[in-house]
Structure formats: C-alpha cells, structure tokens
C-alpha cells in the first residue's frame, strides 16, 4: 500500500455467490467497497434451491429480475423413505399452499445466478473490482492490509472473508474451525425426463443418504445423489446411458424415461463450523463460516443471510460514524449469525445421522417424527416455516 491508496470501508475476498452478494449489498448501503475475486466461469453444475427470503434479498439487490426466468418454482417438497428397512417413515408432503405461499422458492443453476450477480456488481459505482486473489491478509489495529497475487496492496477497515472452505481470511483472523468428514459424497448432474415434475421436489431417503430430484424449467431436474464415497465413485464412472438408467430406477420412474445431460460433479461431504464468525476486523460469510451436507437446501440460503446481515450491520455502523471493523460491530454480526447457523447445523446433522443410523431405536424415532409431521398440520406448517427462514428473522 502506498500513501495514496484508498482505505476501503470493506473489502470482500472471494467472488462465489455469497461473496458477490455481500459485495453488492455492502455497496448498496453506500459503504466504500472493494471485491477481490478472480473473474472465472463457474466451475460446476450445481443448482441452488433458493428459499423465499433469498429471492426477496436478490430482488432488493436488483439481481433476481435478471435470472428468475431461468429458475423453476418449488411448490411441493416430497420426502420418500426408500431405505427398504423394516421400520420405514411414511411419505411426507409439504405444500407451499398450506402456508399461504405460491411457492417455497426457486431452483436455479449456480452458473445462471452467478452471471446475474456479476452483471449487477459491474453496475455499481461504489464497488471496485480487483480481478486478482489475496495471498496475504494482515489485520492490524486500525485496518487490514492485503497483498494480492499480482503484487498489489489494498487496505480496509473491515474484511469480509467469502473465500470458501479453505479460507485464508479465517486463518488470518486466527479463527479455528471444527471439521467432521461425513464419509459420504454427493454426485450432481442434471436430467431431462419424459413426464412433468409438476414443480415437486422429491427426496428419496436411501440408507446412505438422500437422492433429491429438484425441478428445473421444462421437463428437467437437477439431481443431488448422496451416497458412500465408493458408490459415488461408481456413479461417476458410469456412461451417460448407464447413469440415466440408474437415475430412472432410483426415481422409481416417477419422471418417466430419464436422460442425463452432459457433465457431472463429485463433492465429498463434511460439516464445518468456525469457533467465531468474526474477529480481528474479519467477518466470515458463506462456506468460510459453515459447510453442511446438501439436505434441506440450507447452505447458500444461510450464506445469503450472512451477506445481508453483515451489510446491514456494517452499513449502519458507518452511517453512525462507527468503525465497521471495530470489536462491537463484529460482536453484533456474531450475535446475529450464531443462532441461525448453529440451529440449522444441528438440525441437518441430526436428520442425516437419523437416516444413516443402523440402530432400530433411532430408525423408530425418525419414523415417528416424520409420521407426526405428516399427520399433524400445525407441526407440519411450523416445520415448513422454520425451513424457509428462522422465525426471529421473519417480519410480519
Ligand atoms: C451438492 C451440493 C448441493 C447444494 N445445494 C444447495 C441448495 O440447494 N441450496 C443451498 O442453499 N445450498 C446448497 N449447497 C451449498 C452451496 O452450494 C454453498 O453454500 C455455496 O456454493 C457456497 O458459496 P460461497 O460463495 O460461500 O463459496 P464458494 O462458491 O466456494 O466461493 C468461494 C470463492 O472464493 C475464492 N477464493 C478462495 N480463496 C481466495 C483468495 N485467497 N482470494 C480471492 N478469492 C479467493 C474461490 O476461488 C471461490 O470463487 C449445496 C452444496 C453442495 C455440495
């Protein structure tokens, strides 16, 4: 950094969906914001089931209108016990109508969402983009210094660490992370099918994890197939025709004949959580702050709530003349995020464990729980509302 370099209010490190959203939201508050992120085509074929509060946020940030035509509405969520065990849970259907909504949210290809976010970020005059990456991050008393791969230097009062699982920002802030390998992997791919999905997302619960078919526009679905690492490797090695047959069989032919589209990806699954969400002028958002298995579509939805919260808290601090990287501001962010992330991590971990468990008692509990949810309207509606967003975050 030389004497004439500006000190930004906030620098976002990492340009995945969480980082781009945080950068746009911060710039929208009037904060002098920089985004340090490589401009690269999105590398995998994942899709995201964006729940209602996420699309509301993207609407507010003028992102959603750019991509909503390429998203499919999710109106019904269907859970099917496909474990073949003696004690099986009844099928449960959650319908958005039952809680007065037209849909729970929308499923969209991450690639499409990223294009819309990039487009919006490029329009904002208060957001400076550096097409580069951080190689060192050094928090000091009054600011954080960042050195980039291309030899540049930047400084900010607040750093938003949106740099994913192997977060350099998190290390720089001295934040430890707890990691648990789940010994499961997810294979993702998209399919075209002959029968309509009717905007129903169907989750088949197998003894090794869920296999989820999530609607895309037209007669298409994205598939997230969670299994053992060995089975996932086997699925990855199948030809397109063999994988089409396997997917049709796993879906019990509810979509008619199935044809997989080119391209598939493999994700080893883990649960990760940092000890703190912010420290030493660094606030974590997205997967640097939480990694969850893809159950209940929570990961990026939480990442977008991180982005919204840090923008609101830092933006408010700046408007009151406060230092956005000061400990009281970071403490407010920590207090806002911890209950949401901790409660969802717990619930998803429990759901995953109960599915994998070989213990009869656990299988009975799971079946009874799903039976109660399926049969008892108020409980089902509570589960739906809590699944969409934490109750303390909803207004009205
Ligand atoms: C199979 C699967 C299905 C999923 N489905 C859903 C779903 O339906 N709904 C949902 O809400 N969530 C879902 N998730 C979770 C969701 O995909 C993730 O939460 C989300 O993609 C994480 O985004 P991110 O921006 O935090 O991280 P990333 O996308 O990993 O972005 C991090 C970025 O930081 C960059 N970076 C790293 N280091 C540096 C550096 N030093 N300098 C500059 N840049 C750096 C990286 O290049 C990368 O671009 C799913 C996850 C999986 C595995």
Centre of ligand 1 from the C-alpha of residue 17, in Å: 7
CA 353 to chain centre: 20
3-state helix, strand, coil split of the chain in percent (to 5) is 40, 30, 30
Q: Which atom of ligand 1 is nearest to the CA of 289?
A: 26
Give the whole-angstrom CA distance, residue 183 versus residue 137. 33
Centre of ligand 1 from the C-alpha of residue 192, in Å: 25
Task: Name the closest-CA residue to atom 14, ligand 1.
Answer: 299
Q: Which atom of ligand 1 is nearest to the CA of 286?
A: 26
Give the whole-angstrom CA distance, residue 17 versus residue 23. 10
User: 272 to each of 24, 120, 275, how far by Cα in Å?
Assistant: 26, 30, 10
Centre of ligand 1 from the C-alpha of residue 378, in Å: 34
Look at phi and psi of residue 107 and say left if phi exceeds 0, alpha if psi is from -120 to 50, else beta.
Answer: beta
Q: Which atom of ligand 1 is nearest to the CA of 17?
A: 25
Task: Name the closest-CA residue to atom 3, ligand 1.
Answer: 294
Q: What pLDDT, on a 0 to 100 scale, did the predictor assign at position 348?
A: 79
Q: What are phi and psi of 52, to 5 degrees?
A: -50, -50
Q: What is the pLDDT along the chain (396 residues), one digit of tens a residue?
A: 444 568 999 999 999 999 999 999 999 999 999 999 999 888 889 999 999 899 999 999 999 999 999 999 999 989 888 776 655 666 778 888 878 889 999 999 999 999 999 999 999 999 999 999 999 999 999 999 999 999 999 999 999 999 999 999 999 999 999 999 999 999 999 999 999 999 999 999 888 888 999 999 999 999 999 999 999 999 999 999 999 999 999 999 999 999 999 999 999 999 999 999 999 999 999 999 999 988 877 899 999 999 999 999 999 999 999 999 999 999 999 999 999 999 888 887 777 776 665 655 566 666 666 655 666 666 555 666 666 666 555 543
Centre of ligand 1 from the C-alpha of residue 18, in Å: 7
Give the whole-angstrom CA distance, residue 391 versus residue 109. 27
User: 252 to each of 31, 83, 295, how far by Cα in Å?
Assistant: 52, 13, 20
Q: Which atom of ligand 1 is nearest to the CA of 301?
A: 11
pTM of this prediction exceeds 0.85: yes
Centre of ligand 1 from the C-alpha of residue 368, in Å: 35
């Amino acid at each position: 950094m030389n004497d004439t370099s500006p000190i930004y209010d906030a620098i976002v490190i990492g340009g995945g969906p969480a980082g781009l959203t945080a950068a746009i939201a911060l710039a929208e508050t009037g904060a002098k914001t920089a985004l340090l992120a490589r401009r690269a085509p999105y590398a995998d074929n994942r899709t995201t089931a964006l729940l209602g509060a996420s699309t509301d946020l993207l609407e507010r940030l003028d992102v959603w209108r750019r991509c909503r035509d390429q998203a499919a509405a999710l109106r019904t969520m269907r859970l099917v016990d496909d474990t073949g065990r003696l004690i099986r849970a009844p099928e449960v259907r959650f319908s958005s109508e039952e809680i007065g909504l037209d849909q729970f949210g929308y499923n969209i290809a991450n690639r499409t969402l990223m294009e819309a976010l990039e487009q919006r970020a490029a329009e904002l005059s208060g957001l400076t983009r550096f097409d580069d990456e951080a190689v060192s991050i050094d928090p000091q008393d009054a600011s954080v210094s960042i050195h980039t791969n291309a030899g540049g230097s930047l400084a900010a009062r607040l750093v938003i660490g949106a740099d994913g699982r192997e977060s350099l920002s998190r290390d720089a802030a001295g934040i430890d992370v707890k990691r648990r390998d789940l010994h499961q992997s997810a294979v993702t791919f998209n399919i075209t099918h002959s029968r309509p999905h009717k905007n129903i997302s169907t989750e088949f619960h197998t003894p090794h994890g869920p296999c989820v078919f999530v609607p895309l526009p037209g007669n298409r679905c994205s598939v997230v197939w969670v299994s053992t690492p060995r089975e996932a490797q086997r699925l990855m090695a199948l030809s397109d025709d063999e994988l089409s047959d396997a997917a049709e069989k796993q879906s019990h032919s509810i979509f008619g004949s199935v044809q997989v589209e080119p391209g598939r990806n493999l994700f080893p699954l883990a649960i990760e959580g940092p000890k703190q969400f912010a420290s030493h002028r660094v606030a974590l958002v997205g997967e640097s702050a939480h990694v969850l298995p893809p159950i209940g579509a929570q990961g990026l939805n939480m990442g977008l709530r991180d982005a919204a919260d840090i923008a609101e808290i830092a933006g408010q601090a700046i408007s009151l003349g406060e230092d956005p990287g000061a400990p009281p501001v970071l403490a407010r962010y920590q207090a806002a995020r911890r209950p949401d992330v901790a409660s969802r991590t717990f619930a998803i971990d429990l759901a995953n464990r109960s599915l994998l468990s070989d213990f009869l008692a656990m299988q009975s509990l799971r079946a009874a729980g799903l039976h109660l949810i399926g049969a008892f309207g108020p409980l089902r509606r509570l589960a739906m509302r809590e699944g969409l967003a934490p109750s303390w975050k909803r207004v009205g």
